[in-house]
Amino acid sequence: MRPRALTVAATTTVLLLICGMGLPIAAQKRGSEGPDMLALQVMLDRARFSPGEIDGKGGPNTTRAIQAFEKAKGTTAAEALAAAALEPTVAYTITGDDEAGPYAPIPEDMMEKAQLKRLSYASLVEALAERFHASPALLKRLNPSAQFVVGESIQVPNVMAAPEPTSGAGVSLSVSKRTSALTLTDASGAVIYHAPVTTGSQHDPLPIGDWTVTAIVRNPTFNYNPDLFWDAEPAHAKAKLPPGPNGPVGEVWIDISKPHYGIHGTPEPSTVGHTSSHGCVRLTNWDATAVAALIGKGAKVTFTE
């Protein structure tokens, strides 16, 4: 069977965030921003405790990443950040390939999407933002005078490149519904990747239990079947949607032994950890790509409350 997952109504939660840059730990509400917060999110991303979309503001995804990092590493995020002496941004020069795209607006209607050859990025800013794990708004704040044209040098988050693919031997995956988080552990039980996720809703709950990875598909197409979606348009018919980062399952589909369910990317990274889905486990495209590189076919998958 083919993957299924689409975003439904968004819900946001305001939580307290622990942060610091070698300074006393302070509590900040979601929406506060500054160089300390950006540096903290970049440090977590580079340590493979993903805060999801880096926005320089923090929030529940960053809070969970901090908690997971501190539990796994036995040190505070503030201490680790001070020790890293990390430059949160680096210069990047926009290339001709960057500008070439192709880029095109993405229609909302599934039937219209099915008519396209590829569901690519809608703009250069969107493409660059995803490459550097950032929100488009952050990229524009970091470069207020930028025109985003060939040859221009811009500041981008200093994130780590995606891991090289491995055999995935001994790696297992767990997803917690309560914390909206995915964790990869190696054969010794050590955490090797942690990321925020969106799981199911009351209509399509997360299938609690043990499963296995049956396939890993990069650049996947999407077989849309409106019969599998409680909120599908009545006039919709079955259709094959083309691949691309703005496709319903993003750039990676990790199939599991539960029919119709999988772990995958998303065209809307800002919603990860903040919305519900049609049952599947959704990550940012860059986190899904990293997870796919680190896990293998046959790996154990556990979904918990």
- Per-residue model confidence as pLDDT tens digits over 24-36: 233 334 445 666 9
Q: What pLDDT, on a 0 to 100 scale, did the predictor assign at position 14?
A: 23
Q: What is the mean pLDDT of residues 193-199?
A: 96
Q: How confident is the model at residue 224 (pLDDT cuts 50, 70, 90)?
A: confident
d(CA 223, CA 18) in angstroms, rounded, equals 42
Q: What pLDDT, on a 0 to 100 scale, did the predictor assign at position 159?
A: 97
d(CA 97, CA 172) in angstroms, rounded, equals 37
Residue 269 has pLDDT above 80, yes or no: yes
Q: What pLDDT, on a 0 to 100 scale, did the predictor assign at position 9?
A: 25
Question: Going from the N-terminus, what domains does the chain have, and what CATH number goes with each?
Answer: 16-84 (1.10.101), 89-157 (no CATH), 172-304 (2.40.440.10)
- Name, of 83-87, 154-158, 234-238, the range with top average pLDDT: 154-158
Q: How confident is the model at residue 51 (pLDDT cuts 50, 70, 90)?
A: very high
Q: Is 29 left (phi over 0), alpha (psi -120 to 50) or beta?
A: beta
Q: What pLDDT, on a 0 to 100 scale, did the predictor assign at position 278?
A: 58
Q: What backbone phi and psi angles, to 5 degrees, belong to 116?
A: -85, 160
What are the pLDDT digits (tens) for 6-25?
A: 222 222 222 222 222 222 23
Its pTM stands at: 0.86
Q: What pLDDT, on a 0 to 100 scale, did the predictor assign at position 5?
A: 33
Q: What pLDDT, on a 0 to 100 scale, did the predictor assign at position 202?
A: 67
Q: What is the mean pLDDT of residues 96-112?
A: 94
d(CA 120, CA 246) in angstroms, rounded, equals 6
Enter the tokens of residue 151.
């040859």
d(CA 301, CA 212) in angstroms, rounded, equals 5
